[in-house]
Structures are given as C-alpha cells and as structure tokens.
C-alpha cells in the first residue's frame, strides 16, 4: 500500500510539472534567427516585464530571417502576439532585408508618432547594427523604448489630474520641440529613417 501511494504521488507530481516545463522562458523575446545570446534574451525579458509593470505597455522584441514579401509594418501586425486592442510595442528586426521597425498599437500611435521611433532607431540602434553589433543594438533599442514610455507614464498624471503649470509648460515645450523636429527632417530623410535600413 505504501509503495503504491508513493508511486501515485510521483505520477501526480510529474503531471503537475508538465505545464511548467512547457512555459516559454522568454514570452516577450522571439528570436527565430539565433542572433541573441541567452543572457541578452534574459535581460530583454526582464526589461519588458519591468516596463509592463510600470506602464501597462507590453514590449516585444522579434528577430526573424525575412519579411516574407511583407512590409515591416505588415510583418509586425501579422505576428501571433499582435493584439491591437492592447497597449503594445513591437521592436522588429528582419535580418535578410536588414530592416528594423518599431510598431505600436493604435492607441499608443497617437501618443508616440513614427517620428519618435524613427529618431530612436537612427540614434540608438543603427550605429551598432551597421557595425554588426546586433545584440547591443537590440538592448539599446529596448532601453530607449522603456525610457520613453516610462517617462510618459510618470508625467501623465500630473498633467491630467493636478494641471501643474510647470507640467503644462513642459508639455508645451515638448510640443514645440516635436514640431521643430518634424520640420527639420526632409521627407526623403524621414522615409529613410522610418524604414530603418542598416
């Protein structure tokens, strides 16, 4: 009787452990190309989880071999993880086409227009990508995305709830700076950056 009970308990533990083993360790980092080291994937996953905890925004990093005939935007929006009803940001790299894109869900796209991500890609990612430092580029991109959405989340309540004059002044400054940034880009330059070729 005792042996049968022990055997039953072991079988039950094995069955219970099954789903835990199947759980992906990097649900927000999908690298089908094998480009990223395990330590890099761990860091990106931790940063994604921390960003979601602070802001409610899910950030995904996706590296794939090619775009399969799609544009970078179409490729990002066709991913199984994409859910336009949630606050999501996808950092997508297509290695064959050497393209990088940051795609946001519809609600976030009004808060973060393409020019924000185009500038981030050019300044934070393309220098490393052009030197073949793909892991460093992805880490820099994730850090910059996290800082951008975390800063916006930390300043949002003071403007909406208290109407702090300093916050309103800062918001006006950011609006003017944003408009100047838009006009400082020629249409051809903006298109090149938005595509994110390296």
Q: Read off the tokens for 84.
A: 């336009």
Global pTM reads: 0.71
SS3 at position 101: strand
Cβ atoms of 135 and 35 closer than 8 Å: yes
Q: What is the pLDDT of residues 26-67, one digit of tens each?
A: 999 999 999 999 999 999 999 999 999 999 999 999 999 999
* CA atoms of 67 and 152, how far apart (whole Å): 31
pLDDT digits (tens, 9 = 90+) for 65-102: 999 999 999 999 999 999 999 999 999 999 999 999 99
The pLDDT of residue 175: 56
């Amino acid at each position: 009787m005792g042996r049968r009970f022990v055997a039953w308990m072991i079988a039950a533990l094995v069955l219970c452990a099954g789903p835990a083993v199947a759980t992906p360790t990097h649900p927000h980092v999908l690298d089908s190309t094998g480009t990223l080291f395990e330590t890099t994937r761990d860091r990106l996953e931790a940063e994604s989880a921390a960003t979601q905890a602070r802001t409610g925004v899910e950030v995904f990093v996706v590296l794939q071999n090619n775009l399969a005939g799609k544009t970078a935007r179409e490729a990002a929006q066709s991913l199984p993880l994409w859910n336009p009803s949630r606050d999501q940001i996808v950092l997508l790299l297509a290695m064959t086409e050497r393209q990088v894109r940051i795609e946001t869900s519809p609600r976030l796209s009004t808060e973060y227009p393409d020019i924000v991500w185009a500038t981030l890609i050019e300044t934070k990612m393309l220098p490393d990508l052009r030197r073949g430092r793909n892991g460093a580029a992805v880490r820099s991109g994730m850090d910059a995305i996290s800082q951008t959405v975390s800063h916006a989340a930390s300043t949002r309540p003071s403007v909406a709830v208290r109407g702090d004059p300093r916050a309103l002044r800062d918001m006006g400054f950011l609006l003017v700076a944003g408009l100047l940034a838009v006009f400082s880009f020629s249409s051809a330059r903006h298109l090149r950056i938005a595509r994110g070729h390296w």
